[in-house]
Amino acid sequence: EYIKAGDVFQVVLSQRFSVPFPYPPFALYRALRRLNPSPFLFFLDFGGFAIVGSSPEILVR
C-alpha cells in the first residue's frame, strides 16, 4: 500500500532480539566491529537500553 502510494520504495524486514548482557553495551559494539567490520555499524545508547547493529547497507538517511 505505501509502496504503491509512493511513500516508500523499499522495506527492510527485521527481527527483534533482546538478551541480558552483563557488560557495558559499548563492549558489544566493539566486539561486533572487530568480528564483522561492516560499513554501516551503529551504536545507540538511550540510558536504560542500547541498540547495537551491523548491516551491509545503509538503513536510514
Query: For strand 40-45 and strand 50-55, is the pairing parallel, antiparallel, or unpaired?
Result: antiparallel
pLDDT of residue 4: 86
Q: Give residue limits of the domains in the chain.
A: 19-61
Per-residue tens of pLDDT for the chain, all 61 residues? 888 898 988 777 878 888 888 999 999 999 999 998 888 899 999 998 899 988 887 766 6
pLDDT of residue 26: 95
Contact 25, 43 (CB under 8 A): yes
> pTM here?
0.65
pLDDT of residue 25: 92
Contact 43, 26 (CB under 8 A): yes
